[in-house]
Amino acid sequence: MSLAEKYFTRANDLLAHAWAANAPTLARLAPILGENVARGGVIHVFGSGHSEVVAREIIGRAGGLVCVTAMPDPTGGFIENLPSYGTRLAERYDRQYQLRAGEVLIAISNSGKNCSPIEVALHAKAKGLTVVALTCLAMSRATPSQHPAGKKLFEVADHVLDNGGVAGDAIVDAGDGVMAGPTSTLIGCSVLNWLMLGTVEWLTQHGHRSPLLRSQNMPGAIEHNRALGQAYAGRLSRQLA
């Protein structure tokens, strides 16, 4: 069996496990996010380091909710273990885009041990937001926290979604014990899409219209998206086309 085939088989097994393991939490979160969106609130997302790629999956995305906005890290996670840096990021973002009580912040970190995502989560909790962690519990439990208080992301969040990965992220032995084929992006993006779809379903079931973006490559989509965005003027960190 080729390495790609091994990855395909193992990754799909992990994906199925992640679906089963997260289903109860997703069900609890759907009304929380749905009520937030129905009130006109936004969903804030922070991805630490490579996890910013996962966060990007649901921001300004065709078929996704317009009211999802990113807290960017201009260093790309390079100094994510500098104490207080995550707090400063959150404070600056808060001043410009507003973290409002009753809204939701999704903090994404595969290891869950680094300072920035923990500090962002703590700042959001102090402002009265519901904090959702997307992390790898196996990885987080296998490594020490870099946060001064010794906490990990899953320990400070209100709700925890587990990407079901392994310590070290990679799942295929490429020879001599060297591992390849990470799964945190593949499964993390899937978990976020499950969460968004659960939110959309809740909105529909409770008589609310979902503010869903259309692909800007489709006729009339840019105008549609801009019209949706007007309700969130000054609150979205990524400008619509």
Query: Given a cut of 90, is residue 3 above it in pLDDT?
Result: yes
Instruction: Choose between 149 and 123: higher pLDDT.
Output: 123
Distant-in-sequence, close-in-space partners of 86: CB < 8 Å, separation ≥ 6: 80, 115, 116, 117, 118, 119, 120, 123
pLDDT for position 241? 85
The answer to whether position 25 is within a domain reads: yes
| 81 band by pLDDT with thresholds 50, 70 and 90 | very high
Sort strands 104-108 and 68-70 into parallel, antiparallel or unpaired: unpaired
Instruction: Choose between 239 and 197: higher pLDDT.
Output: 197
User: Could you tell me the CATH number of the domain that includes residue 88?
Assistant: 3.40.50.10490
Query: Given a cut of 90, is residue 231 above it in pLDDT?
Result: yes
* % of the chain surpassing 90 pLDDT: 97
The answer to whether position 238 is within a domain reads: no
pTM of the shown model:
0.97
The answer to whether position 130 is within a domain reads: yes
The answer to whether position 45 is within a domain reads: yes
Query: Given a cut of 90, is residue 152 above it in pLDDT?
Result: yes
**What residues make up the domain containing 18?**
3-232
Query: Given a cut of 90, is residue 239 above it in pLDDT?
Result: no
The answer to whether position 53 is within a domain reads: yes
Please count the structural domains in the chain: 1
pLDDT digits 0-9 by tens, 40-76: 999 999 998 999 999 999 999 999 999 999 999 999 9
Query: Given a cut of 90, is residue 224 above it in pLDDT?
Result: yes
